[in-house]
Amino acid sequence: MERRTNRWLLLALALLLSITIVRQADIGRIRHVAHNITNSLRPLYTGAHANTTLGFGAIIAVSRPGSSRREALIRAANITEIDITIPEQPQWTEDDISGLRAVENSTITRGSTLAWLGHLNALHYFLHNTTLSTVLILEDDVDFSLHLRTHQIPLAATAMRMVASNLTIPPSPRNHKSRLQNYWGIPNAWDLLYVGHCGDFYTPESLASLPQSQLIIYPDATLPPYAALHGKTSSQLSDLHVPEAHRLLHPSISPLCTFAFALTRHSAHRILTQYAAREADGGTEAYDVRILEACRDPTFRCWTVNPELFHHVKAESEIAAVNGGGQWSVDEADGDGREEAFNIGCGVRGLAVREGESVAEARERLRGEERCRIGGVEREEGKQGAQRG
363 with 278, same domain: the answer is: no
What pLDDT was estimated at residue 1?
A: 54
What is the value of pTM for the model shown?
0.83
154 with 23, same domain: the answer is: yes
Does 82 reside within a domain?
yes
In terms of Cα–Cα distance, which of 261, 248, 331 is closest to 292? 261
DSSP state of 229: S
114 with 239, same domain: the answer is: yes
The answer to whether the beta carbons of residues 139 and 260 sit under 8 Å apart is yes
Does 219 reside within a domain?
yes
The tens place of each residue's pLDDT in the chain, 389 residues long, gives 555 545 555 555 555 545 555 544 454 444 433 233 334 555 566 678 999 999 999 999 999 999 999 999 999 999 999 999 999 999 999 999 999 999 889 999 999 999 999 999 999 999 999 999 999 999 999 999 999 999 999 999 999 988 887 776 655 444 444 433 489 987 678 999 999 999 998 877 777 777 767 888 888 999 999 999 999 999 988 888 788 888 999 999 999 999 999 999 999 999 999 999 999 988 999 999 999 999 999 999 999 999 999 999 975 555 444 445 444 343 433 434 455 789 998 999 877 678 888 888 888 888 888 888 886 333 333 333 333 33
366 with 227, same domain: the answer is: no
**Most distant pair of Cα atoms in the chain: their distance:** 70
Does 224 reside within a domain?
yes
User: Any idea how long the chain is?
Assistant: 389
Residue 147 CB-half CA count within 13 A: 23
258 with 382, same domain: the answer is: no
What pLDDT was estimated at residue 209?
A: 74
What pLDDT was estimated at residue 178?
A: 40
What is the secondary structure of 5-51 as a DSSP string? Answer: HHHHHHHHHHHHTT-EEPPGGGGGGGGG-----HHHHTTT---PPP-
In which domain, by residue range, is 291 found? 2-334
216 forms beta bridges with 21, 249
**C-alpha to C-alpha distance for 372 and 366, rounded to whole angstroms:** 7
Does 339 reside within a domain?
no
The answer to whether the beta carbons of residues 143 and 340 sit under 8 Å apart is yes
139 with 267, same domain: the answer is: yes
Does 109 reside within a domain?
yes
**C-alpha to C-alpha distance for 259 and 373, rounded to whole angstroms:** 25
**C-alpha to C-alpha distance for 183 and 168, rounded to whole angstroms:** 18
The answer to whether the beta carbons of residues 346 and 366 sit under 8 Å apart is yes
287 with 380, same domain: the answer is: no
| Ramachandran region, residue 152 (left: φ > 0; alpha: ψ -120 to 50; beta: rest) | alpha
**C-alpha to C-alpha distance for 333 and 316, rounded to whole angstroms:** 12
Total structural domains within the chain: 2
372 with 280, same domain: the answer is: no
173 with 271, same domain: the answer is: yes
**C-alpha to C-alpha distance for 356 and 375, rounded to whole angstroms:** 31
184 with 100, same domain: the answer is: yes
101 with 151, same domain: the answer is: yes
Work out the end-to-end distance of the chain between its first and last CA atoms, rounded to an integer number of angstroms.
Answer: 16
User: Strands, E, within 160-252: which ranges?
Assistant: 192-196, 216-219, 246-251
Does 350 reside within a domain?
no
What pLDDT was estimated at residue 37?
A: 37
Does 36 reside within a domain?
yes
Does 346 reside within a domain?
no
41 with 153, same domain: the answer is: yes
